[in-house]
Structure 1
Amino acid sequence: MNEAYAGRALVLDTNIALDLLLFADPAAEPLARALEAGRHVWLATPAMREEFRRVLDYPQIVPRRRFHGLEAATLLERYDAASHSVAPAPRAPVVCRDADDQKFIDLAVAYRAVLLSKDRAVLATRRRLVAHGVRAARDYTAGFPEPAPTLSPPPLAERGPA
């Protein structure tokens, strides 16, 4: 693990990257702010970038790109600007059912990163990943102990006894 990333490393699966860079998902706003502020560092391998590039041309994604007026090249530039490219990680002791998702797990284990994913196969490894210093979560606010600065506190009924 590179100590420069200790406690700040994130690994984002392709769906989270799409939420962040293409879909303008409001749930990705705290993540975008954390990356921009340098509180966390998004780590990605060339294979992850290549997967993102391929997905941008999927038939269900092209209309969304057009809706937002974004070319694939622009989204790849955003990907490159937001992420830090690192070498592929060695195979982790935690194995994912979906071989295409293994690269995300491998990198998260190598850097003891928080792994953000919407993929069921990846999220099914959560308990096993904890033993390797990795937290896996569906979104930024669920994956970190600190609250996002712009989120309101939960209603009193959800807070529990005072």
Structure 2
Amino acid sequence: MCAVIDTNVLMDWLVFRNPGCAPLVEALEAGRFRWIATQAMRDELAHVLGRGVASTYSPDRAVIDEAWTRWAHFVEPPLPTLVPRLRCTDRDDQKYIDLALHGARWLITRDRAVLKLGKRAAALGVVFTTPERWTPPEA
């Protein structure tokens, strides 16, 4: 089973060390699901970090890069014609939605615009949820 993890959740995990991400990280490290991502998602996180958004937290770029190298399974973005479309009001989030609908069981996010699409995504077999509400797969 695969999950797409958005930038806000990655920041919570890798920069802010939010304890609400612990079950997600533990399940990932135990191999209970696969984190799938595209290069555009990696680039977005680098852009956010480059803006200095988390500068007071002194993000450790080596730790962040190591997490991506170790855990992220890079895939090509799906062609729009192959994905059922759920339109997000925030264009920057569309890549997460499209990838989740193309090959994931979950989209882990905190973004309200994405979470609003949850019922429609569930009808397509994908759960849009926060890290705290996410239920890890059985071992």
Question: Number of aligned pairs?
Answer: 136
Given candidates 21, 41, 52, the residue that maps to 1:59 is: 52
Q: Report the secondary structure of 1:84's partner residue.
A: strand
Gap runs ≥5 in structure 2 = none
Q: Contact 2:24–2:136 at 8 Å: present in 1 too?
A: no
Q: Contact 2:27–2:136 at 8 Å: present in 1 too?
A: no
Q: Deviations over 1:42-92 (max 9, x none)?
A: 1000000000111112232122125xxx2x344223222221111112234
Paired position in structure 1 for 2:40: 47
Q: Report the secondary structure of 2:50's partner residue.
A: coil
- TM-score, normalization: structure 2? 0.88
Paired position in structure 2 for 1:152: none
Q: Contact 1:21–1:79 at 8 Å: present in 2 too?
A: no
Gap runs ≥5 in structure 1 = 1-7, 150-162
Paired position in structure 1 for 2:87: 95
Bigger relative contact order, structure 1 or 2, given CA contacts below 8 A and separation 6+? 2
Q: Looking at CA atoms only, which structure, 1 or 2, has the larger radius of gyration?
A: 1
Given candidates 120, 135, 139, the residue that maps to 1:144 is: 135
2:18 equivalent to 1:21: no
Could you tell me how far 1:32 is from its partner in structure 2? Answer: 0.9
Q: 1:80 to 1:145 in 2, by over 3 A?
A: closer
Q: Deviations over 1:119-153 (max 9, x none)?
A: 111111111111211100011x4122668x9xxxx
Q: Report the secondary structure of 1:143's partner residue.
A: coil
> How far, CA to CA, are the matches of 1:43 and 1:104 in structure 2?
10
Q: State which drifts further: 21-30 or 38-47.
A: 21-30
Given candidates 63, 78, 84, the residue that maps to 2:73 is: 84
Superposition RMSD in Å = 1.9
Q: Contact 1:90–1:110 at 8 Å: present in 2 too?
A: no
> How far, CA to CA, are the matches of 2:105 and 2:46 in structure 1?
23
> How far, CA to CA, are the matches of 1:30 and 1:112 in structure 2?
18
Could you tell me how far 1:40 is from its partner in structure 2? Answer: 0.8
